[in-house]
């Protein structure tokens, strides 16, 4: 699946975001190495700290379904660019330090939709790994 197709799945998923407090709606689409796509949205809570981001929702769904290898994750916050927060960077680093991170906003008139692609290792160069 190409980046644009994955991003469009994230945009569609974003419609299910539950964000009554921030009104900042985020959708994610996580592409596993076997081709399966897991979507996620941010799910906020009256106790604000209990909120979960779209990226972690997608990962939790995938991991709990048995997926362990990942290629890319697309993140849509609508018309604004949005990179993963620090907690999500570390959370994803556990499973996929090299994962490709695709962000918008989508520009239909630009080649490839004007999407940005980065490796997680660029955003989190020295993530924590537990050495025992
Ligand atoms: N949020 C995400 O879902 N992903 C990000 O990458 C950044 C922030 C959510 C958390 C919260 O529900 C809202 O966006 C505002 O911070």
Contact between 87 and 18 under an 8 Å Cβ cutoff? The reply is no
The residues with which 31 forms a beta bridge, in sequence order, are 37, 72
* Superfamily grouping for domain 3-123: Cytidine Deaminase, domain 2 (3.40.140.10)
44 in contact with ligand 1, CB cutoff 6 A: yes
pTM over 0.95: yes
Interval between CA 29 and ligand 1 midpoint (Å): 14
Instruction: Tell me, yes or no, if 55 is annotated catalytic.
Output: yes
- With H, G, I as helix, E, B as strand and everything else as coil, classify residue 86: helix
Q: Encoding tokens for residue 55?
A: 């990226």
Phi–psi pair at 64, nearest 5 degrees: -70, -15
Q: CA 45 → CA 15, 18, 51, distances in Å?
A: 17, 9, 5
Confidence (pLDDT) at 58: 99
Confidence (pLDDT) at 132: 87
51 in contact with ligand 1, CB cutoff 6 A: yes
Interval between CA 9 and ligand 1 midpoint (Å): 18
Interval between CA 64 and ligand 1 midpoint (Å): 21
**Catalytic entry in 55, 65, 108, 126:** 55
- With H, G, I as helix, E, B as strand and everything else as coil, classify residue 53: coil
Using 50 as the pLDDT threshold, list the residues of the chain that sit under it: none
Phi-psi region of 91 (alpha: psi -120 to 50; beta: other; left: phi over 0): alpha
Confidence (pLDDT) at 67: 98
The mean pLDDT value of the chain amounts to 97
pLDDT 10s digits, 73-97: 999 999 999 999 999 999 999 999 9
């Amino acid at each position: 699946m190409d980046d644009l197709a994955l991003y469009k799945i994230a945009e569609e998923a974003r419609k299910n975001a539950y964000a009554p407090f921030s009104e900042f709606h985020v959708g994610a689409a996580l592409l596993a190495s076997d081709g399966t796509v897991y979507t996620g949205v941010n799910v906020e809570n009256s106790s604000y700290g209990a909120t979960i981001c779209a990226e972690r929702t997608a990962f939790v769904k995938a991991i709990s379904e048995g997926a362990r290898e990942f290629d890319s994750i697309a993140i849509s916050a609508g018309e604004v660019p949005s990179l993963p927060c620090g907690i999500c960077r570390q959370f994803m680093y556990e499973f996929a330090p090299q994962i490709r991170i695709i962000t918008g906003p989508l520009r239909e008139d630009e080649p490839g939709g004007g999407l940005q692609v980065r490796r997680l290792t660029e955003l989190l160069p020295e993530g924590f790994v537990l050495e025992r």
